Amino acid sequence: MNFNKELYDEIGLNYSIGRKSDAYIAAQINSELQGSDSILNIGAGSGSYEPKSVNLTAVEPSNAMIRQRIPGSHPVCKAKAEYLPFADKSFSHTMTILSMHHWSDRKQALTEISRVTEKRFIAVSWDPGDNLFWLTRDYFPEIYEIDRQIFPQIDEFYESFEKVTVKTLPIPADCRDGFMAAYWRKPHAYLDKQVREGISTFHKISNIDDGLYKLEKDLKSGIWQQKYADLLKLKFIDVGYKIIVVDF
């Protein structure tokens, strides 16, 4: 296995600055992990959303991300989802948070998860259905097209597992985690290069300048505020994020 050219070794050097656990999202994840004896966190990154007082092992392929884990955090193993270096049924629960779109062979990874997990697998992902988010619909349609191809279809879970539950994950207006839709009520944030550096698909699009110019122009003229006045009144928004729960 070659770990030398991981995406986040290149783009994740300052990842932990903008990507932090959001309390509301963490509560939704933790509710699905109740009763766990041991947890495997795949694509663990810098450690966001890892419950504290539990027996947890993190898996992360990127050296840059491993270096950003805070002192005293759970032990981390440098490995990939497709090749988990653990015995069968080593963990009661397995979790992965917004990492499945980076896996090179999801079918093999899901087979590995079935092998090492005894009770439950929890995944936070994005469902590539309709383009519900104003940022990718109005300003960066290329991001939507890229993400639509790399994120797992919900059918993949039903094809790989027997007991699957899919739950909508609304995103709070004050979301602390800087993933794609985190700033849905703070449009100026997307003009900040540091914010964009924490969102992987921004590193993959061919032309970022046109979208940034249009967004900045619409914010200065008031067009964005006029078009999305109702959005500014909301406390949560559904833009396709899901919690997928698999019971074994």
N- to C-terminal Cα separation, the chain: 29
Question: Domain ranges in the chain?
Answer: 7-247
Backbone CA torsion sign across 99, 105, 107, 113: negative
10 Å CB burial of residue 35 (0-12, 13-18, 19+) is: exposed
pTM of this prediction?
Answer: 0.89
Q: Which CATH architecture describes the domain 7-247?
A: 3-Layer(aba) Sandwich (3.40)
Query: pLDDT tens string for the chain (248 positions)?
Result: 333 345 544 444 455 555 689 999 999 999 999 999 999 999 998 899 999 989 999 999 988 889 888 888 999 999 999 999 999 999 999 999 999 999 999 999 999 999 999 999 999 999 988 878 999 999 999 999 999 999 999 999 999 999 999 999 999 999 999 999 999 999 999 999 989 988 888 988 989 999 999 999 999 999 999 999 999 999 999 999 999 999 99
In 3D, which of 106, 107, 155, 109 has the Cα closest to residue 129?
Answer: 155
Give me the pLDDT at residue 131, please: 77
Instruction: Point out which residues pair with 160 in neighbouring strands.
Output: none
> Nearest-5° angle of CA 47, CA 20, CA 168?
95
- What is the Cα–Cα distance from 145 to 9, expressed in whole angstroms? 24
